[in-house]
Structure 1
Amino acid sequence: MNALQPSSASQPGFPAQITQRRFGPFGLKRLLGRSSLTMAWLAEDSRSMQDVLLMLPRRASSAGAEGLKRALDAARRAARIDHPRLQAPSEIGQYAGWLYVACQPRQGAQTLGEWLNGRAEVNTALDIASWCSDVLDGLAAAHDAGLTHGDVGLHSLLIDRAGRVIPWGLAVVAPPPLTEGGVASERDVLGVGLLMHQLLSGTPPLGEADLPSVLGRLVREPVRLPATLPQPVPEVLAAIVDRATATQASRRYLSARSLFRAVDEWRQNAAEGRANVLAILLARSRAAGHLPALPGLAARVSKVVGMDSEPLQSVVELILEDPALALELLRQLNTAAQRAPDADPVTSVGRAVQLIGLRGVRRAAGALRPWPGLLPATQAAPLRVALLRARQVSLLARLLAPAGLPLDMVSLAAQLQQLGRLLVLYHFPDEAAQIAALMRPAPRVEEGDERPESEPDEALAARLVIGVELPALGRAVLRQWGADQGLELLATPLGRDQAVRVPQHAPDWVRLVASCAGETLDAWQRVGLSMERDLEHVAARYARTLDVKAVDLRSAAERSQLATQKALKQEADSPGSSLRR
Structure 2
Amino acid sequence: MSDIPSAPGNASQTSTPLRRFGRFELRALLNKSMRSMLWLVFDSRSNQEMMLCMPRQAPNSPAALEHWLKMAQGGARIQHPNLAHVVEVGQVEQWPYLAYDRALGETLEERLARQANPLPLDLAHWLAQGLDGLAFAHEAGHAHRDLQAASLVIDAAGHVRLLGLEVAQEVFPSTVDFNAVTRRAVREAAEEDVVCMGLLLHRGLGGRLVLDVADLHEVVQRMQPRGQEMVRLPFETPHPIAAPLRAIANRATAAQERQRYHSARVFLRALEGWRAAATQEEGGPVAAMIDRIQRLGHLPSTSSKLLHVAQSSSMQATHTSAVSNLILEDMALSLEMLRRVNNALRMQGGAGDGAVLNMQRAIAMVGLNGVEQAARAVKQWPGILNEQNAARMRSLMQRVRRAGEIAQALRPAGYDGEVVYLITLMQNLGRLLLQYHFPDDAQQIKQLMQPPEPTEANPNPAGMTEEAAAYAVLGTDLETLGAGVARYWSLGDELLHMIRRQSPDAPVRSADTDADLLRLTCSLANELVDALAGPEERRKAGVELATRRYARVLGLGLREVMLALQPPAPNNNGEPVQRVAATAESPNASDSPRPSALRSRVAASELGGTGDAGPSGGNR
TM range, normalised to the smaller chain? 0.7 to 0.9
* Aligned residue in 1 for 2:87: 90
- For the pair 1:396 / 2:406, whether they are aligned, the reply is yes
- For residues 46 and 567 of structure 1, the distance between their equivalents in structure 2, rounded to whole angstroms, comes to 88
232-241 or 192-201, which deviates more: 232-241
- For the pair 1:44 / 2:45, whether they are aligned, the reply is no
Shift of 1:521: 0.7
Alignment of 1:209-358 (within 5 A): 209-218=214-223, 219=225, 220-221=227-228, 222-226=230-234, 228-230=236-238, 232-271=240-279, 276-294=284-302, 297-298=303-304, 301-303=307-309, 308=315, 309-342=317-350, 345-358=355-368
- For the pair 1:512 / 2:520, whether they are aligned, the reply is yes
SS of the residue 1:184 aligns to: helix
Shift of 1:415: 0.7
Aligned residue-pair number: 545
Name structure 2 gaps, 5 residues minimum.
9-17, 171-180, 577-620
Is the contact made by 1:275 and 1:468 (CA closer than 8 Å) also made in structure 2? Answer: no
Shift of 1:419: 0.3
* Aligned residue in 1 for 2:6: 6
Name structure 1 gaps, 5 residues minimum.
9-18, 569-581
Instruction: Tell me: CA distance 1:511–1:64, structure 2 relative to 1, closer, same or farther (3 Å).
Output: farther
Is the contact made by 1:478 and 1:488 (CA closer than 8 Å) also made in structure 2? Answer: yes
Partner amino acid, structure 2, of 1:145: A
Partner amino acid, structure 1, of 2:490: G
272-281 or 136-145, which deviates more: 272-281
Shift of 1:340: 1.6
- For residues 562 and 152 of structure 1, the distance between their equivalents in structure 2, rounded to whole angstroms, comes to 64
TM-score of the two chains, using structure 1 as the length reference: 0.82
Partner deviation per Cα, 1:435-486 (whole Å, 9 max, x = no partner): 2122112332323x69x87533222322233222211111111111122112
Instruction: Tell me: CA distance 1:567–1:188, structure 2 relative to 1, closer, same or farther (3 Å).
Output: farther
- For residues 367 and 188 of structure 2, the distance between their equivalents in structure 1, rounded to whole angstroms, comes to 54
SS of the residue 1:40 aligns to: strand
- For residues 274 and 519 of structure 1, the distance between their equivalents in structure 2, rounded to whole angstroms, comes to 33
* Aligned residue in 2 for 1:165: 160
Shift of 1:539: 1.6
TM-score of the two chains, using structure 2 as the length reference: 0.78
Partner amino acid, structure 2, of 1:115: R
Partner amino acid, structure 2, of 1:85: N
Partner amino acid, structure 2, of 1:430: D
- For residues 509 and 229 of structure 1, the distance between their equivalents in structure 2, rounded to whole angstroms, comes to 39
Instruction: Tell me: CA distance 1:230–1:391, structure 2 relative to 1, closer, same or farther (3 Å).
Output: closer
183-192 or 227-236, which deviates more: 227-236
Shift of 1:135: 1.7
In our comparison, the structure showing a higher alpha carbon Rg is: 2
Shift of 1:224: 2.4
Instruction: Tell me: CA distance 1:271–1:331, structure 2 relative to 1, closer, same or farther (3 Å).
Output: closer
- For residues 561 and 200 of structure 1, the distance between their equivalents in structure 2, rounded to whole angstroms, comes to 56
- For residues 314 and 60 of structure 1, the distance between their equivalents in structure 2, rounded to whole angstroms, comes to 80
Instruction: Tell me: CA distance 1:456–1:26, structure 2 relative to 1, closer, same or farther (3 Å).
Output: same
Partner amino acid, structure 2, of 1:467: G
SS of the residue 1:130 aligns to: helix
Partner deviation per Cα, 1:125-153 (whole Å, 9 max, x = no partner): 33333322222232223233333222221
* Aligned residue in 1 for 2:612: none
Partner deviation per Cα, 1:530-557 (whole Å, 9 max, x = no partner): 2111211222233235443334334433
* Aligned residue in 1 for 2:141: 146
Instruction: Calculate percent identity across the aligned residue pairs.
Output: 37
SS of the residue 1:189 aligns to: helix
Shift of 1:414: 0.8
Partner amino acid, structure 1, of 2:408: R
Alignment of 1:417-428 (within 5 A): 417-428=427-438
SS of the residue 1:51 aligns to: strand
* Aligned residue in 2 for 1:186: 191
Is the contact made by 2:82 and 2:133 (CA closer than 8 Å) also made in structure 1? Answer: yes
Is the contact made by 1:89 and 1:103 (CA closer than 8 Å) also made in structure 2? Answer: yes
Shift of 1:412: 1.1
